[in-house]
């Protein structure tokens, strides 16, 4: 027999829980679906209704991410990954998964933590056909919603335990949401602080182009290999720049730069977040002659300045300027992305 706790669970509650969960909010939609499945076994809810609201809630949230990804491009994926502990790994993992599985991967991505929230905006950024996205994502939403609903149905004899957990989840949710919001605020504050520290350490595209033509000792480092395309070789960059992943630059201690060499970092984001974080990490290692290209590669290309896909390697830059870079690690990561 259903308990008083479980009788409070309604179709709108299930819809809101699933919708919020797929918007990447810390709401335990799985617990709601399992409880609903147990209520189906007791006759309090209808199986078709539970699955329907689960699918609709999931599909609406995913479509919102899809539209945002199509509108804002890969910056949406980067923004979501920026709040993870390892944004580089998060982004590369999602792109590798999508490259291997394609759209059919949407059918079971919801069962893989960390991927369910990234694939919809990634599909939008890749200009996937809307109808195909809705079909495959709808199948995934159906498998996910019905799977956990049937799981609760099969374990309906444990309904009292599930109901007790659900009745206490309100306080836990408050703590979780508060913690997540504090973390988001801290990350946003950290990014703003980084940009403020580096706002006087930028170089314009025109000035950089003039210095490169004059043959000045400038090592340009391209940080674009994790920013939106699966094959780094097809992403154009500034001639003479070396493409290297920012992760080893930030983490490796084996980096040295002669005092007469300027290091210029650039990425594809106009607000230069990736470059700024990397530059700050290098400055903490004692490398002070680090600059960020103002406006990134986008500003460079808007001025009609030359680009090429035939970029230098880390070894070429090291030999040319006498600097030491984490070459093996960066190349391995670049090859893994490619």
All domains of the chain in start order, with CATH: 4-194 (no CATH), 199-337 (3.40.250.10)
Q: How confident is the model at residue 275 (pLDDT cuts 50, 70, 90)?
A: confident
Separation of alpha carbons 216 and 282, rounded Å: 21
pLDDT of residue 167: 54
SS3 state at 202: strand
Judge whether 163 and 48 are in contact, CB under 8 Å.
Answer: no
Of the pLDDT bands very low, low, confident and very high (cuts 50, 70, 90), residue 332 is very low
SS3 sequence of 38-57: HHHHHCCCCHHHHHHHHHHH
pLDDT of residue 58: 92
The terminus-to-terminus CA distance of the chain in angstroms comes to 56
- CB under 8 A, 24+ apart: contacts of 211-218: 212/238, 212/239, 212/240, 216/262, 217/258, 217/260, 217/261, 217/262, 217/321, 218/261, 218/262, 218/263, 218/264
- Res 6 pLDDT > 60: no
Interval 264-284 mean pLDDT: 79
Residue 106 above 50 pLDDT?
A: yes
- Could you report the per-residue pLDDT of 42-93, keeping only the tens digit for each? 888 899 999 999 999 999 999 999 998 888 777 777 777 765 655 556 777 7
Q: Which two tokens stand for residue 155?
A: 């374990």
* Nearest alpha carbon to residue 210 among 109, 300, 96, 90: 300
Give the pLDDT mean for 242-257. Answer: 79
Per-residue pLDDT for 231 more than 90? Answer: no
List of long-range contacts for 39-46, beta carbons under 8 Å, 24+ apart: 39/2, 39/6, 39/9, 39/152, 39/159, 40/149, 40/152, 40/153, 41/152, 41/153, 41/156, 41/159, 42/1, 42/2, 42/6, 42/156, 42/159, 43/2, 44/2, 44/6, 44/7, 45/9, 45/11
Asked if the model's pLDDT at residue 286 lies above 60, the reply is: yes
User: Strand, coil or helix: what is 292?
Assistant: strand
In this predicted structure, what is the pLDDT of residue 230? 46
pLDDT in tens, 172-183: 555 655 665 666
Q: What is the number of other CB atoms lying within 10 angstroms of the CB of residue 246?
A: 25
Give the confidence band of 3 by pLDDT, cuts at 50, 70, 90.
very low
Return the exposure string of 162-173: e unless at least 16 CB atoms fall within 10 Å of the residue's CB, then b: bbeebeebeeeb
Distance of alpha carbon 99 from alpha carbon 232, whole angstroms: 13
Alpha-carbon distance of 237 to 308, in angstroms, equals: 5
> Which pLDDT does position 179 carry in this prediction?
64
Total Cβ atoms within 10 A of residue 39: 27
- What is the rounded CA–CA span in Å between residue 23 and residue 36? 21
Question: What is the pLDDT, as a whole number, of residue 4?
Answer: 44
**Residue 336 has what pLDDT?**
36
């Amino acid at each position: 027999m259903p308990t008083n706790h479980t009788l409070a669970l309604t179709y709108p509650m299930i819809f809101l829980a699933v919708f919020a969960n797929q918007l990447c909010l810390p709401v335990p939609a799985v617990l709601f679906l399992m409880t609903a499945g147990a209520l189906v076994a007791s006759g309090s809810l209808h199986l078709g209704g539970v699955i329907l609201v689960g699918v609709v809630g999931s599909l609406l949230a995913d479509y919102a991410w899809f539209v945002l990804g199509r509108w804002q491009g890969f910056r949406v994926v980067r923004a979501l990954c920026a709040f993870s502990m390892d944004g580089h790994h998060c982004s590369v993992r999602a792109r590798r998964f999508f490259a291997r599985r394609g759209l059919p991967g949407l059918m079971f991505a919801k069962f893989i933590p960390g991927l369910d929230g990234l694939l919809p905006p990634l599909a939008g950024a890749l200009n996937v056909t809307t109808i195909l996205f809705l079909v495959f994502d709808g199948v995934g939403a159906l498998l996910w919603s019905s799977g956990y609903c049937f799981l609760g149905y099969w374990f309906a004899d444990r309904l009292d335990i599930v109901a007790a957990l659900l009745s206490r989840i309100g306080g836990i949710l408050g703590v979780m949401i508060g913690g997540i919001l504090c973390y988001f605020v801290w990350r946003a504050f950290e990014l703003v602080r980084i940009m403020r520290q580096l706002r006087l350490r930028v170089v314009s595209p025109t000035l950089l182009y003039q210095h490169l033509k004059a043959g000045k000792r400038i090592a340009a480092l391209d940080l674009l290999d994790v920013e939106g395309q699966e094959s780094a070789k097809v992403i154009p960059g500034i001639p003479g720049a070396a493409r290297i992943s920012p992760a080893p630059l930030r983490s490796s201690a084996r980096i040295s730069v002669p005092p007469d060499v300027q290091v210029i970092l650039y990425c594809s984001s106009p607000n230069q977040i990736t470059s700024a974080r990397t530059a700050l990490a290098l400055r903490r290692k004692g490398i002070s002659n680090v600059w960020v290209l103002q406006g990134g590669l986008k500003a460079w290309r808007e001025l009609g300045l030359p680009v090429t896909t035939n970029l230098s390697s880390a070894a070429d830059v090291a030999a040319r300027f006498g600097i030491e870079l984490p070459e093996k690690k960066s190349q391995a990561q670049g090859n893994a992305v490619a």
